[in-house]
Structure 1
Amino acid sequence: MAVDVAVATPAPEPMPVVEVVDDSGVAGSSARREYERRKAKDEARTREKWGRFGGLAVALSDEKQSTKAWAIGAVGEEKLGARLDGLAGDQIAVLHDRRIPKSRANIDHIVITRGGVWVIDAKRYKGRPRLVIEGGFLRPRVEKVYVGSRDGTPLVDGVIKQVGLVRGVVPEVRVNGVLCFVEADWPLIGGSFTSRGVMALWPKKLMAMLREDEGTIDVASTRQVLAGVFKAT
């Protein structure tokens, strides 16, 4: 008589755990770290100066403007970063806080669309951004950017440099430079302008331009190349 012998079925091997690393970066992270570093340094100096009353002195002291500026900048980058993340998908890729190789400087945001690459510097300045043109017939033409009474011309120089670095990595792709003033006093109608190829505008206008930037670029591969060179801070 045949006897059925139960054969134990081996348990399936567990699937290997694959760690997914998000290299998109965190908007404002380097500015936030610099603020915390400066704040701690300022507080340590105050405590050392006042001894046993150091804690009280810290509590009553105002932050140095040069220290507070880093926190203000970090908030601007974080706010714009959140809006850019809302656009991210198959057609738009977003990279935040990217380190420039061999430098302590960073690029606030890099956005890759089907139409091109956008290098974006976020600024949280008060006042109205405007373009002032000096010179002309008898003197060389000079473009200056102001935000209220603040001379923002060096900001344009910085974006131009960043655009050149990104263009060197993806020379076949159109690279746009943007100064995005997050909380500036923009007029109800118009107000955006371009200085030496760098666009100055506000978040809502930037979002619309990114959505409408159509083309044939392979977003995923372009993102991979840029993320490999300009790594998250």
Structure 2
Amino acid sequence: MNAGSSAARRAAALGAGRRPGLWTRLLIALGIRAKPPTPQAALPWLMGAEGEAATQDLIDVLAGEGWAVFHDLGLPRSHSNVDHLLVPPSGEGIIVLDSKRWRATWPTSAVGGRLFCGDEDRHDQAEKAAFLARFVRDVVGPANLPVLPALVIHRSPVAADGHIEVLVDGWPRPLHVFGPQALLAHLRQRAGTPDPRRAARLAARVTQTLHPYSEGDPRWAG
């Protein structure tokens, strides 16, 4: 499944992308009527879909370097989904990426260990990323499986050359926040010594326990 598919479907359900009727299109073409705006409720979903697609464009190259790369996976017994999940060539753990597309004129920074975009506290997004990583660890297993959560922020410039760290209560290590320009280099540093068998086993376990996200699928019922 492509990244952003579920977010794009939610945006469409809220009215984004609906084509005006023939008469309305004629009035728009004649300049008599303005083009209808995208419904406000759909905008966050559209932005989310764009951010996820941008991350997919970046990280799909890793599939040719021995990584297993997954997008838009559903979590069992939950309405949540994982934007992107990667198994490195070493098979030594899982990286869970959550994509965001934030305001270009507001910088993303760490203030007192908390995540901010401009003057807005966005630390709930870091907490969500840690929650998703913990859920993936519990579902995919084993209990000692290393799982690294991270956020990828598009448009909003990430301080410190595109890589900052924030602290999340209950998560033992700093959580990484990347701009797209810093993401691939950091991931490649975590490729480890290739172990194709171990990596294939872990990727197969991901495929067995997590599935392409689909709203309304009974596998994701609470």
TM over 0.5: same fold? yes
- The answer on 1:67 being equivalent to 2:42 is yes
Q: Deviations over 1:86-139 (max 9, x none)?
A: 111362110100001112211100011124210100001122111222xxxxxx
Report the equivalent of 2:5: 29
What secondary structure sits across from 1:66 in the alignment? Answer: helix
Aligned counterpart, 1:39: 15
Following superposition, the deviation at residue 83 of structure 1 comes to 1.3
Structure 2's unaligned 5+ residue stretches are: 169-173, 214-222
Could you list the structure 1 runs, at least 4 aligned residues long, displaced by more than 4 angstroms after superposition: 52-59
Partner SS for 1:160: helix
Shift, 1:191, TM fit: 4.9
- State how far apart, in whole Å, the 2-side matches of 1:55 and 1:96 are: 39
Amino acid of the structure 1 residue aligned with 2:75:
I
From 120, 131, 134, give the equivalent of 1:150. Answer: 120
1:185 aligns with 2:157: yes
Give the alignment of 1:1-233 within 5 angstroms: 25-39=1-15, 60-89=35-64, 91-113=66-88, 114=90, 115-126=92-103, 127-133=106-112, 143-168=113-138, 169-170=140-141, 171-187=143-159, 189=161, 191-196=163-168, 197-213=174-190, 214-215=192-193, 218-233=198-213
Structure 1's 191 and 172: CA in aligned 2 closer, same or farther, altered over 3 A? closer
**Structure 1 residue 55, shift from structure 2 partner:** 8.8
Shift of 1:151: 2.2
Distance 1:191 1:98, change over 3 A: closer
- The structure-2 alpha-carbon separation of the partners of 1:67 and 1:190, relative to structure 1 and needing over 3 Å to count, comes to closer
SS at match of 2:85: strand
- Identify unmatched segments of 5+ residues in structure 1: 1-24, 134-142
Give 1 or 2 for the bigger CA radius of gyration: 1
Contact 1:116/1:215, CA 8 A, preserved across alignment: no
Q: Provide the alpha-carbon RMSD of the alignment.
A: 2.7
Q: How far did 1:221 drift?
A: 1.2
TM-score by length of 1: 0.73
Aligned length: 194
Instruction: Give the C-alpha shift of residue 144 in structure 1.
Output: 2.6
Letter in 2 for 1:27: A
Letter in 1 for 2:115: V
Change (3 A) 1:62 1:219: same
Q: 1:149: how far off? A: 2.5
